[in-house]
Structure 1
Amino acid sequence: MNNVSLVGRLTKDVDLRYTTKKMRAVGAFTLAVDRDPRKVTKDKTADFIPVVTWGKTAEFASKYFSKGHRIALQGSIHTRVWEDDEKNRHYVTEVVADRVFFADAKQREFDEPEIEDLEEEAL
């Protein structure tokens, strides 16, 4: 069974591209995932996981997620091999996300007033 669930923050905006043949959307980003979020220490350790999304999921991620957003995803681990011009083989391990979610509550559209502002209004 190959199932992955991750929660983390985007290290940069989603890179959205389209395949040349079928014009299918492909989104790529890196997710910074804390190794043990239960431990509160000054030396946090994170893993930086490469993620790929396809189709409507890629378009959704590109439209609504940006650098620093905390997201959750579900998918699977995929490996692939490719060869460069010099015939060197490169191995890539990445998460292919089938589903992506907002992991934080939506931010308010207005700023809450400062305590000093409330005191001035009361006078």
Structure 2
Amino acid sequence: MNTTTNIAQTILDQLGGSKFTAMTGAKNFLTIANGLQFKLPQNFAKNNISVVRITLLPSDTYSMEFGKILKQKDPQYGVKMPVYKKISVHEQVYADQLRSLFKDETGLDVSLGTMGKKNPGSLSL
């Protein structure tokens, strides 16, 4: 694996890995320069967010960008074309803030509540 792939994998691991994917429906993972991009199911998240980009910054923090894909009619050709619309960008996000910021922006839980707990079998009602 090269450095860019390692960064993307680390970001996914910090979000929760396969548990994150299962809980959010995230798909179409793409390694980008110093980061990771993925899609969420359409009309599933708050504000219809369907694209998330997370980039590692030189300060060893992250930039998180949330956006959506719209279909707008192209005036020249008269057909609907996909257009990306940025909804929000957050800079200087620490690794331990990635999951909570994702939840705040999308409204989607990233786990069943057992991630990071030492003994998830000891939950009581």
Does TM, scored on the shorter chain, surpass 0.5?
no
Work out which structure has the larger RCO, using CA pairs closer than 8 Å and 6 or more positions apart in sequence.
1
* Bigger helix fraction: 2
TM-score w.r.t. structure 2 length? Answer: 0.32
Larger Rg: 1
